[in-house]
Structure 1
Amino acid sequence: MSLALSLPETLARARADLRMGVPVVLETGTGAAIAVAAEGVSDSRLADLRALGAPYLAITTRRAETLAARPYDGDLARLVVPQDADVTWIEAVADPADDLTHPMKGPFRSARGGDAACARAAIALAKTARLLPAALMVDVPDAPALAFANGLTILPVDRAMPLMADLAPLADVIHARVPLLAAENSRVHVFRPDDGGEEHFAVEIGRPDRAKPVLARLHSACFTGDILGSLKCDCGPQLNAALSQMGEAGEGVLLYLNQEGRGIGHANKMRAYSLQDQGFDTVEANHRLGFEDDERDFRIGAAILKEMGFSSVRLLTNNPNKIARMTDQGVTVTERVPLRVGENRYNAAYLATKVRKSGHLL
């Protein structure tokens, strides 16, 4: 009997290790590296990595642009860590919280040449772990021996990266009747990905005919807006308005996707909010953190709709990217139903930025 982990299981363990500040060994066909999430580095861990070789900090091109560092690797930069650098330096380079109060962190020396595949994998892992997209790394010659001696997860990068780019299969685990204020004839479906990621939900109102376009919304989880009633966004009003329209129509499907903060997670969302308080708009804040404008994966919504038997929708949205992704994934959007609610004096600039920079139809 073999107890060896499958590749999805190994990926899930690697993400969990990074969240705990535990190093992960990344291996390609041409080399290997040990990586630890930048926000999880301690003084002792930094000393351990220095004992293995010359450390470098892998950051995204978005973060490199903010720091005026050269991203020779295209989508990322490998910054050489100075001999006298400590954990404070690493945190300051990875986290933009103090960029304005302490702007002079460089000059930086970016590595060029060689294979950046391990650095690319480390950043991708950090993103899926909802951490800052930055990793402290050291190239190592004998990865299996290092992993075995220290009980570390070893991830085969060449096989893992395509899997991380693919959409994890989703299983409809269970559904049950949940009467809502907006519609008493509602059921909630729980969908679980097989890669250990967050569960997603589908609220089915009534008994929609699978042969007809269903009134649907792809709603990304927003703890502050949906639960706390935050006025910084329009998420809560959109959620309630969508459910109300479906309740009035007697049927519909609301997909509640666990992609907080446009896919960057709760902590990074709060970091983005802090940057907005410093005067940056929502897109600029994401870029300073090292993320793209929007890190969400709307393929998840299409996959859930198809799993539920729907092939066409009347989509409640102001976001043309959602329409494009539905179409790409084989779900026909017969109509875009506008959802213009929730504007107030606190989020007016935020909504204007979504129109100007993200193409939203408001």
Structure 2
Amino acid sequence: MVRPSNDLLLPSPAERVGRARADLRMGLPVVIGGGAHGLVALAAETAREDRVAALRQAGGSAVVAITAWRAETLKARAYDGDLARIVMPEEAGAAWLRDLADPARDLMSPMKGPLASLREGDAVLHRLALLLAKSAQLLPCVLTVETDAPARLAEALGLTRLDAAETADDLARHHDLLPVAAARLPMEAAEAGRLHIFRPDNGGVEHFAIEIGRPDRERPVLARLHSACFTGDVLGSLKCDCGPQLRTALAEMGREGAGVLLYLNQEGRGIGITNKMRAYSLQDQGFDTVEANHRLGFEDDERDFRIGSDILRRMGFSSVRLMTNNPRKVEMMEAEGIAVTERVPLVTGTNRHNAHYLDVKRSKSGHLL
């Protein structure tokens, strides 16, 4: 009997990153780094009081990594460019961490400072910890403690340990999307419909392609890249134009008899449904869409449109007539090797609830409305 190599049973870098995301969401710390330099990192959003206390005893001084956007809101110095490293006061605990992370608590707990930011030292591992929290769709605020024995500490505590270089590569990389299922799906827009399911090779969330009719692969296909919007697409939210855009695009493809709509699971411009609701709460306080994202610590738009170009190629399409009001989508498709022969405007109505949202889309995000 031939025994498999034990190496084949070891998790790959992508699998370790996936495991670390799950750990952070459950409130477990992860270890980042190797050799004599590493960090133990705990997501502020899921931190428990007892774990915060235990982490502070496990290594050096406690430092909280936040993005430069969140630092700007908190009036903290971001000496590391895109992030700030805040020294955690001795008396602070999990509640202080959550106050630092969540702008919903800014009015409840306005006195967090003065906040002391680190100037010296390397912030590479802190940056990775923030990117990991973002990829887990958690607030980008991470409690960190340095360790000079990351491998030994991870093994002793049973924690997931990530190699820094491998993790940086994995978080920046586009993971190939593989077709896993497809079936005929008659719809209101067109009886000749088919739904394709694609799953990234790192086991991440699936994305969908809705094919109308039998589009000619040799000609530009009428296409739409639509980011998931549970509130708009399912609940009929009046705060955005996502639902009307989805239905208008499908109806137009039905009238033409052919098209493909990519339904990408990147809710809330890539920050996830929970953070999107946090942004909505901030909008109720008077902040616009972009300002709300920044106060949460995110960029204007965290989506990855490489997903759409990958799916189109795997379905046999190399050129599209792209239904969009967003020039950035056109640019990214072209950059990824998908020719955009025409930008097809997507015209939907406005109402008193989404008028300001659409104005921000036009003025700050460059949408052609």
Normalised TM-score (structure 2): 0.96
The alpha carbon displacement at 1:88 in A equals 1.5
Q: Is the contact between residue 220 and residue 259 of structure 1 (CA under 8 Å) also seen in structure 2?
A: yes
> In structure 1, what is the Cα distance between the partners aligned to 2:135 and 2:48?
21
The alpha carbon displacement at 1:30 in A equals 6.1
1:252 and 2:259 are equivalent in the alignment: yes
Which of 193, 200, 203 matches 2:207? 200
Letter in 2 for 1:200: H
Which of 112, 118, 121 matches 1:105? 112
> In structure 1, what is the Cα distance between the partners aligned to 2:102 and 2:109?
12
The alpha carbon displacement at 1:29 in A equals 5.9
Letter in 2 for 1:259: Q
Aligned to 2:88: 81
Q: CA RMSD in A?
A: 1.0
Note the alpha carbon deviations across 1:125-145, whole angstroms, 9 max, x for none. Answer: 111101001111100111111
SS at match of 1:176: strand
> In structure 2, what is the Cα distance between the partners aligned to 1:196 and 1:128?
13
How do 1:7-156 residues align onto structure 2 when only pairs under 5 Å count?
A: 7-28=13-34, 31-52=37-58, 53-156=60-163
Letter in 2 for 1:236: G
Note the alpha carbon deviations across 1:294-348, whole angstroms, 9 max, x for none. Answer: 0000111011101111111000001111001001001111111111214111010
Change (3 A) 1:81 1:303: same
SS at match of 2:57: helix
> In structure 2, what is the Cα distance between the partners aligned to 1:286 and 1:30?
36
> In structure 2, what is the Cα distance between the partners aligned to 1:351 and 1:319?
12
Which of 221, 228, 231 matches 1:214? 221
The alpha carbon displacement at 1:74 in A equals 1.0
> In structure 2, what is the Cα distance between the partners aligned to 1:114 and 1:4?
33
> In structure 2, what is the Cα distance between the partners aligned to 1:275 and 1:300?
29
Letter in 2 for 1:174: A
SS at match of 1:58: strand
Letter in 2 for 1:26: I
Aligned to 1:262: 269
Normalised TM-score (structure 1): 0.98
> In structure 2, what is the Cα distance between the partners aligned to 1:260 and 1:176?
24
The alpha carbon displacement at 1:99 in A equals 1.8
Which of 350, 364, 369 matches 1:357? 364
Equivalenced residue count is 362
Note the alpha carbon deviations across 1:266-306, whole angstroms, 9 max, x for none. Answer: 11000000000000000000000000000000111011101
> In structure 1, what is the Cα distance between the partners aligned to 2:36 and 2:256?
58
* Larger deviation, residues 258-267 vs 158-167: 158-167
Which of 319, 341, 348 matches 2:348? 341
> In structure 1, what is the Cα distance between the partners aligned to 2:97 and 2:318?
48
Q: Is the contact between residue 28 and residue 158 of structure 1 (CA under 8 Å) also seen in structure 2?
A: no
Note the alpha carbon deviations across 1:173-225, whole angstroms, 9 max, x for none. Answer: 11110111101101111000012211000001111111100000000000000
In structure 2, stretches of 5+ residues that fail to align are none
Q: Is the contact between residue 246 and residue 252 of structure 1 (CA under 8 Å) also seen in structure 2?
A: yes
> In structure 2, what is the Cα distance between the partners aligned to 1:12 and 1:156?
13
Q: Is the contact between residue 34 and residue 149 of structure 2 (CA under 8 Å) also seen in structure 1?
A: no
> In structure 2, what is the Cα distance between the partners aligned to 1:277 and 1:28?
45
Q: Is the contact between residue 11 and residue 195 of structure 1 (CA under 8 Å) also seen in structure 2?
A: no
> In structure 2, what is the Cα distance between the partners aligned to 1:30 and 1:352?
51
